[in-house]
């Protein structure tokens, strides 16, 4: 009971199932929970573009803004696609459901595996990046970075186990504080740019084009593609809402779609604002200071606003991990529902969250953090590949769905197997937008794989098919069990018959074993007491005690097995196995185990675990029913 009250303290009182609706997220909390990942990307997306472009010389940085606009355009396509997904699949499940419904099982498992791996990486990378911000500020903490990162994962796990709504409340402050801070800086920057504040307007430096390194046209195009792909980190986390529709208040899909739009507007405002001002300010990416920090410092001249932005950048980087906590358990529960993951991952715990998924995620992310010693730079090449693959699959799936919609007559509808579709005007261009989005994210995926392959992307290229194989094997396992248990065409005479035999292992005659013997005599006419003796003295002592209760033992068949080793379980199990396979093949036999149960934990340590070990060994025998007759003893 102390364990259970500790759980109550940590997790809180359990919620009844009907409380589900109360536990859901309003749009404000939902934005905080789901948007921390895409919004936090702004802390580094612009910098990612510039870091590639600088390889062609500083003149090439002029391409930052056009590429940023291209990425923003791609974000529009992706958001458009996911809003349609949310509206067509209001039960959630995002890329996995879309692919299952439109492309088949294997593509859907690829989408799911890619996302699962990416969510684990989201947690590891975000937490490690957040901890790096702390260790940069206080270098003395550097040697504890691994412990700090694991502690951060533990806290996130704890908060998420307490429930979605509560975590939404806790995480709202840093998300909104970050957005507000960066928007303020961008506004100040734009005001200065247009001269509104009276300070000297910002003027772009004329780039010394001659300084650009001479490059072949192929290499130039490749580097521009790489810069574009690198900037696509701004897309990560956009899909989160599509998996989490069920976390929203009713009407779920409307609220989810609205939140998605707001999230897109905020994320793109920040991204474009930062990209525009960084290029106008002629900032250069350096090892020492991030572009966002340079920009903020340059516009605000340091001071409270600067520290506000820095602090909440760190906070939102850690919180981005929370997107993983929202989506990994939910996606796992969808997979479990369809038999691709252990069934218990679809069970919700006391606080209506998917405990199993949360704990599995925390464990895997912790192992990853340990393996990489909390070094997020080393993990980055593995990251974002999964999400890009899921975008490609999901958008392609939606383009197929739009094709089906287009084949309906106006006013007509059809059931796809998962969702009901109706004829929609404009299906032509909707299909086109999805297809273009799919092709562009597919190209980004290929560029990412090629450029990062050696640095670590190969791990993901190998891991995704392995996870697909694992999910598929789990389903095969469940199919096998369902067939074994199926009652289809079952007639009762196909059930095994129960043999009239009960075997009672006894080491001694005492109240506990006499109770078991009595139970066996009640359920069977052929009762066999089995005792293993290692010497004659022991045998004689047993026989004397056996004969003291003739009314219990007269009609019982006593088997004294002599054995010259000390391990009594082996001859016992051998005897039971022989009775089962030779005397009663294809029938159930019964073993009655007398077991004394000490009433305290320390009592357990003082006793042989013989009864427990015997039970485990008998589980291996197919047709043996085991009866535990307990006898409670003090201490």
Helices 27-40 and 252-280 sit at what angle, rounded to 10 degrees?
40
Q: Smallest distance from the beta carbon of 147 to a second copy, in angstroms?
A: 20
The two tokens of residue 101 are 């419904």
Residues of this chain, 491-510, that bind a second copy according to CB under 8 A: 492, 495-496, 498, 509-510
Separation of alpha carbons 319 and 316, rounded Å:
5
Do 256 and 89 touch, CB atoms closer than 8 A?
no
Separation of alpha carbons 227 and 627, rounded Å:
68
The two tokens of residue 160 are 């998420």
611 part of the interface to a second copy, by CB under 8 A: no
619 part of the interface to a second copy, by CB under 8 A: yes
Q: Smallest distance from the beta carbon of 554 to a second copy, in angstroms?
A: 12
Give the nearer residue to a second copy in terms of CB position, either 409 or 566: 566
Q: Where are the alpha helices (DSSP H) in 343-457?
A: 355-371, 376-379, 385-407, 427-452
Element (H, E) at 568: none
Give the nearer residue to a second copy in terms of CB position, either 287 or 564: 564
487 part of the interface to a second copy, by CB under 8 A: yes
Separation of alpha carbons 357 and 77, rounded Å:
31
Query: The dihedral of CA 99, 229, 123, 34: what is its sign?
Result: negative
* Per-residue x/- track, 571-590, a second copy (CB under 8 A): -----------------x--
Give the nearer residue to a second copy in terms of CB position, either 293 or 610: 610
469 part of the interface to a second copy, by CB under 8 A: no
Separation of alpha carbons 348 and 357, rounded Å:
9
Separation of alpha carbons 420 and 414, rounded Å:
6
Binding test (CB under 8 A) with a second copy, winner from 16, 410, 417, 425: 16
Residues of this chain, 17-36, that bind a second copy according to CB under 8 A: 17-18
Q: Give the total of residues touching a second copy (CB under 8 A).
A: 72
Do 57 and 210 touch, CB atoms closer than 8 A?
no
At 587, phi and psi to the nearest 5?
-125, 155
287 part of the interface to a second copy, by CB under 8 A: no
634 part of the interface to a second copy, by CB under 8 A: yes
14 part of the interface to a second copy, by CB under 8 A: yes
Residues of this chain, 521-560, that bind a second copy according to CB under 8 A: 522-523, 534-535, 545, 548-549, 551-552
Separation of alpha carbons 307 and 316, rounded Å:
14
Give the nearer residue to a second copy in terms of CB position, either 206 or 494: 494
Give the nearer residue to a second copy in terms of CB position, either 28 or 348: 348
Q: Smallest distance from the beta carbon of 11 to a second copy, in angstroms?
A: 12
The two tokens of residue 21 are 């609706």
Helix (H, G, I), strand (E, B) or coil at 284: coil
Binding test (CB under 8 A) with a second copy, winner from 12, 57, 70, 349: 349
Separation of alpha carbons 279 and 284, rounded Å:
9
221 part of the interface to a second copy, by CB under 8 A: no
Please state whether beta strands 527-533 and 557-562 pair in parallel, antiparallel, or not at all (unpaired): parallel
136 part of the interface to a second copy, by CB under 8 A: no
What's the chain's Rg over C-alpha atoms? 33
Binding test (CB under 8 A) with a second copy, winner from 140, 210, 250, 606: 606
Q: What is the DSSP string of 404-427?
A: HHHHSPTT-EEE-SSSEEE--TTH
Give the nearer residue to a second copy in terms of CB position, either 136 or 347: 347
Q: Smallest distance from the beta carbon of 358 to a second copy, in angstroms?
A: 15
Q: Where are the alpha helices (DSSP H) in 563-605?
A: 569-578, 601-605
Q: Smallest distance from the beta carbon of 336 to a second copy, in angstroms?
A: 10
Residues of this chain, 390-409, that bind a second copy according to CB under 8 A: none
Interface segment toward a second copy; rule CB under 8 A; list 212-220, 293-301, 486-494, 577-585 = 486-494
Please state whether beta strands 624-633 and 587-598 pair in parallel, antiparallel, or not at all (unpaired): parallel
635 part of the interface to a second copy, by CB under 8 A: yes
518 part of the interface to a second copy, by CB under 8 A: yes
Which residue do the tokens 């704990």 mark? 359
Binding test (CB under 8 A) with a second copy, winner from 11, 519, 571, 575: 519
Do 253 and 82 touch, CB atoms closer than 8 A?
no
Binding test (CB under 8 A) with a second copy, winner from 27, 249, 515, 541: 515
CB atoms within 10 A of CB 233: 24
Q: Smallest distance from the beta carbon of 371 to a second copy, in angstroms?
A: 21
Give the nearer residue to a second copy in terms of CB position, either 105 or 612: 612
Separation of alpha carbons 36 and 284, rounded Å:
26
350 part of the interface to a second copy, by CB under 8 A: yes
Separation of alpha carbons 238 and 35, rounded Å:
8
90 part of the interface to a second copy, by CB under 8 A: no
Q: Smallest distance from the beta carbon of 145 to a second copy, in angstroms?
A: 22
Separation of alpha carbons 389 and 222, rounded Å:
20
* Per-residue x/- track, 421-460, a second copy (CB under 8 A): ----------------------------------------
564 part of the interface to a second copy, by CB under 8 A: yes
Give the nearer residue to a second copy in terms of CB position, either 218 or 601: 601
56 part of the interface to a second copy, by CB under 8 A: no
Do 72 and 272 touch, CB atoms closer than 8 A?
yes
Binding test (CB under 8 A) with a second copy, winner from 55, 209, 490, 544: 490
């Amino acid at each position: 009971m102390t364990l259970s009250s500790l759980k109550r303290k940590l997790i809180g009182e359990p919620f009844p199932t009907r409380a589900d609706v109360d536990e859901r997220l309003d749009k404000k909390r939902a934005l905080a929970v789901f948007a921390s990942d895409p919004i936090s990307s702004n802390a580094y997306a612009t910098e990612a573009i510039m870091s590639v472009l600088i390889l062609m010389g500083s003149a090439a940085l002029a391409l930052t803004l056009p590429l940023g606009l291209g990425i923003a355009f791609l974000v529009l396509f992706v958001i458009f696609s996911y809003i349609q997904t949310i509206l067509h699949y209001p039960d959630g499940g995002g890329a996995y459901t879309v692919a299952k419904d439109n492309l088949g099982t294997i593509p859907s498992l690829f989408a799911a595996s890619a996302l699962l791996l990416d969510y684990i990486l989201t947690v590891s990378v975000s937490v490690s990046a957040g901890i790096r911000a702390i260790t940069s500020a206080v270098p003395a903490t550097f040697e504890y970075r691994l412990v700090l990162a694991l502690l951060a994962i533990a806290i996130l796990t704890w908060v998420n186990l307490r429930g979605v709504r509560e975590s939404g409340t806790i995480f709202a402050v840093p998300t909104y504080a970050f957005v507000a801070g960066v928007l303020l800086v961008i506004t100040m920057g734009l005001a200065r740019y247009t001269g509104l504040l009276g300070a000297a307007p910002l003027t772009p430096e004329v780039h010394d084009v001659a300084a650009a390194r001479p490059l072949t046209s192929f290499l130039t195009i490749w580097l521009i593609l790489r810069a574009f792909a690198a900037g696509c980190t701004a897309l990560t986390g956009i899909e989160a809402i599509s998996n989490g529709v069920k976390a929203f208040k009713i009407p779920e899909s409307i609220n989810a779609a609205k939140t998605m739009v707001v999230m897109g507007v905020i994320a793109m405002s920040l991204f474009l604002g930062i990209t525009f001002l960084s290029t106008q300010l002629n900032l250069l990416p350096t090892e020492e200071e991030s572009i966002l920090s340079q920009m903020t410092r340059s516009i605000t001249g340091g001071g409270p606003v600067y520290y506000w932005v820095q602090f909440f950048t760190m906070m939102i980087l850690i919180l981005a991990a929370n997107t993983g906590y929202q989506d990994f358990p939910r996606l796992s529960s969808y997979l479990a529902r369809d038999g691709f993951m252990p069934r218990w991952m679809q069970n919700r715990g006391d606080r209506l969250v998917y405990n199993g998924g949360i704990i599995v995620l925390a464990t895997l992310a912790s192992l990853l953090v340990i393996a990489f010693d909390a070094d997020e730079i080393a993990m980055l090449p593995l990251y974002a590949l999964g999400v890009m693959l899921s975008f490609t699959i999901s958008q392609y799936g939606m383009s197929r769905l739009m094709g089906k919609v287009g084949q309906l007559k106006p006013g007509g509808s059809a059931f796809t197997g998962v969702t009901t579709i109706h004829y929609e005007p404009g299906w032509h261009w909707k299909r086109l937008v999805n297809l273009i989005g799919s092709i562009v994210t597919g190209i980004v995926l290929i560029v990412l794989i090629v450029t990062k392959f050696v640095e670590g992307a190969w791990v993901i290229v190998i891991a995704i098919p392995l996870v697909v194989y694992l999910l598929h094997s789990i389903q095969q396992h469940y199919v096998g069990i369902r067939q074994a248990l199926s009652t289809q065409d079952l007639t009762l005479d196909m059930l095994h018959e129960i043999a009239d035999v009960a075997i009672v292992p006894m080491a001694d005659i005492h109240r506990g074993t006499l109770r078991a013997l009595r139970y066996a005599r009640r359920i069977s006419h052929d009762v066999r007491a089995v005792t293993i003796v290692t010497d004659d003295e022991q045998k004689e002592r047993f026989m004397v005690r056996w004969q003291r209760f003739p009314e219990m033992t007269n009609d019982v068949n006593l088997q004294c097995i002599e054995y010259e080793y000390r391990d009594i379980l082996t001859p016992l199990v051998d005897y039971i196995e022989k009775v089962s396979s030779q005397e009663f093949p294809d029938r159930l036999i019964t073993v009655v185990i007398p077991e004394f149960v000490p009433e305290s934990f320390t009592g357990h340590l003082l006793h042989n675990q013989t009864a427990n070990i015997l039970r485990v060994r008998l589980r291996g025998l197919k047709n043996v029913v085991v009866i535990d007759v307990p006898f409670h003893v003090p201490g």
